[in-house]
Amino acid sequence: MTTPTFALKQYAKQLGFDYVGISKAEYLHEQAPRLEAWLKAQMHGEMQYMENHFDMRLDPRILVPGAKSVISLLYNYYPENKQINDTYKISKYAYGNDYHTVIKNKLYAVLDYLQSTVSKDIVARVFVDSAPVMEKAWAVKSGLGWQGKNANVINPKSGSFYFIAEIICDVTFEYDGAIKDYCGTCTRCIDACPTQAIVAPQVVDGSKCISYFTIELKNEMPSHVKNTFNDWVFGCDICQDVCPWNKFSKPHAEPLFNTNTAKLNLTKNDWQELTHDLFNELFKNSALKRAKYTGLQRNIAFIQTEK
């Protein structure tokens, strides 16, 4: 029996998810050659984990045996208040509590709802940027937006400042379809990228991205990217900030993604004098801890040598 899809979507929205779309769990034929070419071109840099589980990334039925559906969900993180000007910048998604924990708890609530309304024997797994799932491909396939030239999923009503999450399960739903790509001839994201990481429409060379350098790269910064970071020390929002579709972004309503003014008002001098203890206090529940105190200090020191 087909499960009432509308009721599921309404329940997810009650939990704070802004958009929900559902696709049939099947092999991603279009993405296979693209992923293979991206890996062969070494665009993943030091992210060796991207080479693992190639087939699993493309087929959710390997991740969840018997899977019939991929439920894709978007959760807004666009902040009402932003950092002061002339400071070291962190990506907006890291302002509040770590999204992995916040959203995964909500996904488990959705799963509980399915188990109580459909069957307690549902086979399912939840994912938030933590497993070999091609989340952007599934979001596009489920009609939550199109993939912009900066490779982010753009929703026509709300832009791209969203976390993407999935529930893969063995339940059949009414499936959604993809929507039109509305980027047109716009190239603002490509033109604005200071490291020229967007090498073609929808193709980002991860090894050139400021987010990669400030978070993923564990070795020393290469000298050829000096004077390109524009004061970003954790992540980068440039390609999203310049996107015309993000004029529709509205502040999120998630209290756990709020941040205190002390974080937003840190000056460059404050960042430079940040102690390990204060870092742990200010960012104890933040995704910023992924870079660790030593990584953050490395990034700041690198930018200081640019001038």
pLDDT of residue 306: 66
Higher pLDDT pick, 50 / 187? 187
Sign of CA dihedral 13, 108, 281, 295: negative
In this prediction, residues 225-251 reach a mean pLDDT of: 97
| Residue 22: predicted pLDDT | 98
Which DSSP letter does residue 289 get? G
pLDDT, average across residues 168-192: 97
Q: Residue 3 pLDDT more than 80?
A: no
Q: What average pLDDT does range 111-134 have in this prediction?
A: 93
Query: Catalytic residue positions?
Result: 129
pTM value is 0.95
Give bridge partners of residue 42 from the DSSP assignment. none
Q: Length of the chain in residues, anyone?
A: 307
Residue 146 confidence (pLDDT) above 50: yes
Asked if 128 contacts 107 with a C-beta cutoff of 8 angstroms, the reply is yes
Q: What is the mean predicted confidence (pLDDT) over 12-27?
A: 98
Enter the DSSP assignment of 144.
S
- Binned at pLDDT 50, 70 and 90, residue 1 comes out as very low
Strand order in the sheet with 69-76: 19-24, 69-76, 162-169, 124-127
Section 17-22 average pLDDT: 98
Q: Please compute the mean of the pLDDT values over residues 200-210 and round it to a whole number.
A: 97
Which whole number is the average pLDDT over 164-178?
A: 97
pLDDT of 307 reads 60
Mean pLDDT, the chain, rounded, equals 95
What's residue 4's pLDDT?
84
Q: How many whole angstroms separate alpha carbon 109 and alpha carbon 166? A: 13
The answer to whether the CB of 123 falls within 8 A of the CB of 267 is: no
Percentage of the chain lying above the pLDDT 90 cut: 91
Task: Return the amino acid letter for 164.
Answer: I
Give long-range contacts, CB 8 A cutoff, 24+ apart: 85-89: 86/267, 86/268, 87/231, 87/266, 87/267, 87/268, 87/271, 88/231, 88/232, 88/233, 88/266, 88/268, 88/271, 88/299, 88/300, 88/303, 89/230, 89/231, 89/232, 89/233, 89/234, 89/236, 89/237
CB 266 within 8 A of CB 273: no
Q: Is the pLDDT of residue 296 over 70?
A: yes
Question: For 262-276, what is each residue's pLDDT tens digit?
Answer: 999 999 999 999 999
Mean pLDDT of 165-181: 97
Query: What whole-number distance in Å separates Cα of residue 195 and Cα of residue 209?
Result: 7
